[in-house]
Copies of this chain bind each other. A is one copy, B any other.
Amino acid sequence: MEPITTEEKIIRAADKIFTQKGYAATRTREIAEEAGTNLALLNYYFGSKQNLFRNVVKQKLKMLLNAIDPIASDKTIPVVEKVRKISEKYTQLMLENEELPLFILNEWSANKNLFTDLIRETRQHAEPVIRKQLSENGMDITVEDLIVNTLGMILFPFIAKPLILSSGLVEENQFAAFVTERKEKIPEWIISIINKQIQ
């Protein structure tokens, strides 16, 4: 019963095209067409391409942060369990939005101000929590490395997907299975890394 408003249609179209092509390569006419409406209305609602872009990015970024922050900053969840939950959630999220990570990273580079403003609103509280957990359990890794390794292992396949496919490392139709299996392995790998081995 919830009809999709035209404004929403434009947002979704913008989302799709911007994510696919990036800001500079996106034409407002294409967004309008994709939304099944016209250029006039796009500017009537959003004023400018820049502003429409801002809306899209804001929403995407919030989604990404909201998916990770509650887990990462929860003091009652053990570190390894956090990795497990985040690996699960982010892999799922990326499978549903495969072009998202590269889009975010790319536009972040090109448009640092916008993102820095947005990130400031959503403050990060995870870092000190994890740092404390790591030291209390005598785990052999820094917070920075843990976060970069975890996110890197989860996100890199999606970021480098075209490279992975055209090099023939993974077949197109096996990609989803590849990352789905990885999402179970990643926590195990992190455990191996975290626990200083007695050898």
Residues in A lying within 8 Å of B, measured CB to CB: 21-25, 99, 102, 104-106, 108-110, 112, 115-116, 119, 124, 127, 143-145, 147-149, 151-153, 155-157, 159-164, 166-170, 178, 182, 185, 189, 192-193, 197
Contact = CB atoms under 8 A, between A and B. Distances in A.
A152 B197 CA distance: 23
Given A24-B22, A110-B25, A153-B149, A162 B105 contact: yes
Contacts of A25: 23-24, 110
Chain A, interface SS category: helix
A102 B192 CA distance: 29
A53 to B, nearest CB: 13
B108 A163 contact: yes
Given A112-B162, A163-B108, A148 B144 contact: no
